[in-house]
Structures are given as structure tokens and as C-alpha cells.
Amino acid sequence: MSMALVGDVGGTNARFALWQSGELAAVEVFACADFASPEAAISAYLERQHVTISQLCLACAGPVQDGQVRLTNNHWHVAADSLRDTLKLQRAELINDFTAMALGMTRVTEDELLSVAEGQALAGQMRLVMGPGTGLGVAGLLPLPDGRWQVISGEGGHVNLPATSEREARVLAYLQSQQDYVNAETILSGGGLLRLYQACCAIDQRDCLLDSPAQVTAAALAGDDYADAVLEMWCCWLGRVMGNAAVTLGSRGGVYIAGGVVPRFAERFLVSGFHQAFCGKGSMSDYLTQMPIALVQAEWPGLLGAGVWLDQLS
């Protein structure tokens, strides 16, 4: 395959890299606010690298419809036709950022994965990828007989948040009093950790002394018992929701925890009740204990996935 550009475009930053022979090179991060359009940002990147490209794939934080994406919290309008014509390319592909994240799992190396639970991955079976980040991404990843991969995409982060204890029910009731619908990513996201802390403080009639997710995490890791209990509840809720998805998809090929949230407290996560909550499905518990679970610590999985998308088209 000739030289290609891959990108991971979010609301604030755009990450670009060169892709050739299944490898990333020259990763750079650009502030979207500094450029009037994605074409301008890509042109600046290519000028810095002194290269020309024949094709590109951008993973974008938003739904792709008719070859276009309008990004949330970003003035860019990304359109495949415009990219192809302006940059004089043979091919311009736009995919959802979590589709790219899922495909990136096919290129991460063992040293970029932290084992959360041992198990036996079955060849040819569905894999589950979930990523607590700005929201909660959920996808299935299915190996195909010809060696390619099929992403089973959806909006799994918007399922109902399940409560299985009196404490969780009280928190859920409080959240429901504040908003019409409480989905999983209400809690299982970066901002969700703060919402969970605030909900716990409200039902316990405590003052909220912390005012950011980073502060809740830092307090928990520093030994604050109350913040640690909130973080533990967050981990267990993630396990329960991931277990639901794993049962639904039949993810005997393995489970990946992606996204930027969990790596911030990886050691604490490993000793949390996450895995017990993941497997706590009654008669299906043994089925779930057989699934290996890994925490993804790769730096650029979205860029890798965009490259895999291009490779599969060639």
C-alpha cells in the first residue's frame, strides 16, 4: 500500500500519523481551534512531514452519515468528498472513532495490555471492546474467515444503568430525580465519576468537597475513604455493565477495556470489585469467568484502527 495518512479527530484535538506497511510513524497532535478546516490541518501536517499521500482515513468523534461528520464542540465539518478533492487523493475514508478503537485492538501488542482477568480466548469468536472516556463506547469485534475484522458497532453506552444493591438503587433514584433518563455513560465516563461522587454526597447529606473527576481519583488514591468508596462503586458498575454486554455478544474471544479513564487508576482498578461484578450473572457466572479481560494501555489505538480500516480496503 502507498503512503497514507490516518487521523483521530475529537472535539479539541486532531491526531495525525503516517501509515505504511502496517506501521504508524510521525504522530503529531494539532489543536482543532488553530485551523479553519480539517483540510487546512492535514495540509499543515503534510508540509511538516515533507510527504505526499494517496489516501487517508479519519476516525471522528461522531456519527458518520453520507460520508460526513459534524463534530460536537468543534467548528469543523468533515466531508470525505471535500478531503479527497482538496487534497487530491485517491481515497478518503471517514469512520466513527470507536470503530477505529475496536479495530486498533487487532494491532496492540502484549506489552500494551494489562491483564485484568485470566481466561481462555477462543479463536474465531466475538471480542468485546468497551471504552470509558468522554462517553462510553461499546463495540463487538469479529474475526472473519479471510483474516479481516468486522466491527459490530452500536450505542451500547446508552443502555439503562442497572442497580443491584440498595446503595446503587438510592444513587440511581437520585440521578433519576435530576434527569429524565439515566444511561450507563451517565456514570461510566470521565465526567460520570464526578456525577457519582455528587450523587453519593447528596444521598449521604455530605458537602461536596471535590469538584472534578481528577480530584475524586486523586483523593481516592491518596487514602480518602469516602472518595475510594465512590471509585469502588464506579469500578463495580463498570463490571456489571461490561458483563451484560459480554453475555449479549457472547464475547468468548476476549474483552478489552479501552478509553482514557481506567488507566489513570490501573493499580486500584485491579484490586477493585470489577471482576466479581463482571462475572456476577447467576447461572452464567462460570461462562463469564472463562473470558480473558485486558486493560488497553496503547498510546494510539484509534490511529492504528484507522490504518487497519485502510488495509482491509486494499
Query: Under a CB-based contact definition with an 8 Å cutoff, are residues 172 and 163 in contact?
Result: yes
Closest CA to 177 of 202, 206, 205: 202
Q: Give the largest Cα separation in the chain, rounded.
A: 61
DSSP 3-state assignment of 194?
A: helix
Helices (H), the chain: 38-49, 80-87, 97-104, 166-178, 184-187, 190-204, 213-221, 225-249, 266-270, 274-279, 285-289, 301-313
CA distance readout (Å), 146 to 141, 143, 155, 261, 264: 15, 8, 27, 34, 37
11 is in an annotated binding site: yes
Residues in CB range of 102: below 8 A, 6 or more apart? 129, 139, 140, 141, 151, 153, 305
H/E element holding 252?
none
Closest CA to 113 of 262, 280, 312, 237: 262
Cell, residue 295? 486493560
12 is in an annotated binding site: yes
260 is in an annotated binding site: no
156 is in an annotated binding site: no
Binding-site residue set for ATP: 7-12
Binding-site residue set: 7-12
